[in-house]
Structure 1
Amino acid sequence: MSSILTNTSAMVALQTLKSINNNLNKTQAEISTGKAVNSAKDNAATWAISRVMDSDVAGFKGIAENLSLGQSTVGVARQAAETVTELLQDIKKKIVTAQEENVDRAKIQTDIDGLRNQITSVVNAAQFNGLNLVTSTATVEILSSLDRTTAGVTASKISVNSQDLRVSTAAPKDAFGANTEGLAAASDSAAFQLAATGGTGVIELDAVAYEMGDQISVTIGGKTATYTFTEADAAATSPTEVAAIGLKKAIEGLGIDGLEIDYNSANAGQLAFTNAGANTLTVNAKFTSAGAGGLGALATLDVTTDAASALTNIESLIQTAIDAASAFGSAQTRIEIQQNFVNKLSDSMRTGIGALVDADMEEVSARLQALQVQQQLGIQSLSIANQAPQSVLSLFR
């Protein structure tokens, strides 16, 4: 039966042509983007997996940069330790020469003092981006990996132990002056209370020889602020003034309600506290010395008075420097291995992501050709189907 109202053949041809056009659009999108899965609409599960892996790749890129920074930092420290070892060996040669009776030990000691000063210069300069691994005993954590499990992501780190190669002897210090509240004499700690609504108190830093790494901490109302002396602070004209200003900012950063801190440059190193709050505040101040340096015994070497002991001590100091260089070399090797692994892992993950979402261009190209032929046939079929009702006209002639 023919009908001029319902053309079933045309409807079938139209639906077929729409399907062909949809496939053709998808294929052209794959060719344009190079991806078979370009959005969650294409394949939700695969797209989600690829997004997670993309984020991991980005994370590993950041880790690779972090490892590069850590490798450079450790490399500088290793080079410093090796240089110190060579300088200590030069000092040993001088000390061996001083074992003879008919030598000018005073001149030899002058040479030793010069080499010791050079060691101090090398150690203090061995920093990378502000971090010096040969002037402290702290442990530095370097982010090395992101470990993903069903429970989430955890970070793995490489621990690098600092190696103290300072020549400092770190003599005991009475850091707080007699004007500090609660002290009858100079000391390295103090404690007092600030009464509510108007209580006052004073912390005064003594003008002593501070060293890099020395710390002053103040605990008020259960919150602690700490100031650490840098090399520049210790060498400043007025280190107490520098520390007082830095400590004032650190305490203010605690945000203690009602606490007011006054600094007057006329009293360098002195902080005046006023409690305008409703609660009594307990103040504890403590000084912590950076401690004697790992090469502290080098400062006491004196061939003019005891050449034999100097020879014994220099052997121990050389071993300390060798151990430090060895530790840094081991850590640097581990970082390099991890860095190479992270780079290869990132490449493997990118390959895996590509296998999930990238389009097979040979297949897509062949499919495009087939769909273009199907599109042409579909158009021709629709044209024929649309012409079928016109045959009814011949019945009315």
Structure 2
Amino acid sequence: MAFSVNTNSGAMAALQSLNSTNRSMETTQSRITTGLNVASTKDDSAKYTVAQTLRGDLGKLGAVTTSLNNAKSVTDVAVAGAEQISDLVNQMKSKALEASDAGLDNESRKAISNDLLTLKKQINTVLEGSSFNGTNLLKGTAATVATDGKVSALQSINGDTLTVANQALSEAADTAFGASGTDTDITNVGLDDDGTAGTGSGAADALLTKLDSFFDTVKTSLSDLGAGSRQIEGQLSFNSNLNDVISTGIGSLVDADLAKESANLQALQVQQQLGVQALSIANQAPQTLLSLFR
């Protein structure tokens, strides 16, 4: 090999090696800093594109979960209200049965009528208060529903939405013992028992029949609300598991192995130091030519 002060091939080779080491170190430091092996499409376009698609799926899944949580809260409030109404109707049935005794004195009959009116007010209060975020599944018509919104295509369920129908218990209650302010069916229980169907024990028997029918309606509503709540809870559980699986999948695609990168960093630091020394030695090579001219 010719000796030349114009071209130092050894120094150029050492510089190329040092530049390569520096680039590798920058990549390793970026992976350690971000925790990602694929932080940009420049790192790996295929993996980055797949990861971005999965991140979009996670976003949709999060929106569905939020909607499901809202629907669950609405349904749980309705369940609590329906259970309370069920207890109150049982008390009304007991009172009506007690008032159906033809031998009961008038004072006792009036007291029972007052108790029935109090229980009716409590039921109406529960119906009014069983609302969450403006949605009441016990009051109103069957046209009102609680829904979880659009369900992601990731989920294999029948239909696009989960719905829990309004139970319309307010209408059924009005039929059973009269609308608010219309207490004739109950006040008639407190009237003197004259042997007719509309007063005293006769009114109590008629009210008891209506209460039995209303209680059957409440039982059906409890069953429907319970089934709807379990379905929503099941979907929430599935969403949670699906979220974990997708997150793990994204991690396997783009996450960096920090233990491996730490070891690489140590090796690259040594290579960098050796590269600097090699470049320094190569730069000193032309100096040896001066000895030939002494």
TM-score by length of 2: 0.84
Once residues 154 and 78 of structure 2 are traced to their aligned partners in structure 1, the CA distance between those partners, rounded to angstroms, is 32
Q: CA deviation at 1:299?
A: 2.7
Structure 2 match to 1:58: 59
Structure number with the higher strand fraction is 1
Structure 2 match to 1:179: none
Structure 2 match to 1:128: 132
**Contact preservation (8 Å) 1:67, 1:144:** no
Deviation readout 1:24-81 (Å, 9 max, x if unpaired): 1111111122111122221222222222222322333333332222211111111111
2:175 corresponds to which of 297, 306, 316:
297
**Contact preservation (8 Å) 1:165, 1:294:** yes
Structure 1 match to 2:169: 165
**Residue 140 of structure 1: SS of its match in structure 2?**
strand
Once residues 86 and 92 of structure 1 are traced to their aligned partners in structure 2, the CA distance between those partners, rounded to angstroms, is 10
Equivalent position amino acid for 2:256 in 1:
A
**Residue 164 of structure 2: SS of its match in structure 1?**
strand
Once residues 347 and 146 of structure 1 are traced to their aligned partners in structure 2, the CA distance between those partners, rounded to angstroms, is 16
Once residues 127 and 361 of structure 1 are traced to their aligned partners in structure 2, the CA distance between those partners, rounded to angstroms, is 51
Q: CA deviation at 1:316?
A: 0.9
2:94 aligned with 1:88? no
2:254 aligned with 1:392? no
**Contact preservation (8 Å) 1:116, 1:298:** no
Q: CA deviation at 1:148?
A: 4.6
Once residues 166 and 151 of structure 2 are traced to their aligned partners in structure 1, the CA distance between those partners, rounded to angstroms, is 21
Once residues 294 and 12 of structure 1 are traced to their aligned partners in structure 2, the CA distance between those partners, rounded to angstroms, is 91
Structure 2 match to 1:141: 147
**Residue 160 of structure 1: SS of its match in structure 2?**
strand
**Contact preservation (8 Å) 1:27, 1:364:** yes
**Contact preservation (8 Å) 1:139, 1:160:** yes
2:228 aligned with 1:331? yes
Deviation readout 1:270-321 (Å, 9 max, x if unpaired): xxxxxxxxxxxxxxxxxxxxxxx12222235444513333222211100101
Equivalent position amino acid for 2:230 in 1:
T
**Residue 32 of structure 1: SS of its match in structure 2?**
helix
Q: CA deviation at 1:360?
A: 0.5
1:350 corresponds to which of 227, 230, 247:
247
Once residues 138 and 13 of structure 2 are traced to their aligned partners in structure 1, the CA distance between those partners, rounded to angstroms, is 81
Deviates most, 362-371 or 61-70: 61-70
After superposition, residues 363-382 of structure 1 pair within 5 angstroms as: 363-382=260-279
Relative contact order, CA 8 A, sep 6+: which one is greater? 2
Once residues 328 and 359 of structure 1 are traced to their aligned partners in structure 2, the CA distance between those partners, rounded to angstroms, is 47
Structure 2 match to 1:201: none
What is the CA RMSD across the aligned residues, in angstroms? 2.0
Equivalent position amino acid for 2:251 in 1:
G
Percent of aligned pairs sharing the same letter: 37
Structure 1 match to 2:123: 119
**Residue 87 of structure 2: SS of its match in structure 1?**
helix
Q: How many residues align?
A: 266
**Residue 161 of structure 2: SS of its match in structure 1?**
strand
**Contact preservation (8 Å) 1:85, 1:318:** yes
Unaligned stretches of 5+ residues in structure 2: 179-184, 192-197
**Residue 123 of structure 1: SS of its match in structure 2?**
helix
Equivalent position amino acid for 2:81 in 1:
A
After superposition, residues 209-358 of structure 1 pair within 5 angstroms as: 293-300=171-178, 301-302=185-186, 303=189, 305=198, 306-358=203-255
**Contact preservation (8 Å) 2:74, 2:146:** no
Once residues 69 and 378 of structure 1 are traced to their aligned partners in structure 2, the CA distance between those partners, rounded to angstroms, is 62
**Contact preservation (8 Å) 2:176, 2:213:** no
- The runs of at least 4 aligned residues of structure 1 exceeding 6 Å deviation read none
Q: CA deviation at 1:18?
A: 0.5
Structure 1 match to 2:194: none
**Residue 30 of structure 2: SS of its match in structure 1?**
helix
Once residues 309 and 351 of structure 1 are traced to their aligned partners in structure 2, the CA distance between those partners, rounded to angstroms, is 64
Deviation readout 1:218-267 (Å, 9 max, x if unpaired): xxxxxxxxxxxxxxxxxxxxxxxxxxxxxxxxxxxxxxxxxxxxxxxxxx
**Contact preservation (8 Å) 2:138, 2:167:** yes
Equivalent position amino acid for 1:15 in 2:
Q
- Are the structure 2 counterparts of residues 61 and 387 from structure 1 closer, same or farther at C-alpha, using a change threshold of 3 Å? same
Once residues 76 and 46 of structure 2 are traced to their aligned partners in structure 1, the CA distance between those partners, rounded to angstroms, is 44
Q: CA deviation at 1:165?
A: 1.0
Equivalent position amino acid for 1:31 in 2:
I
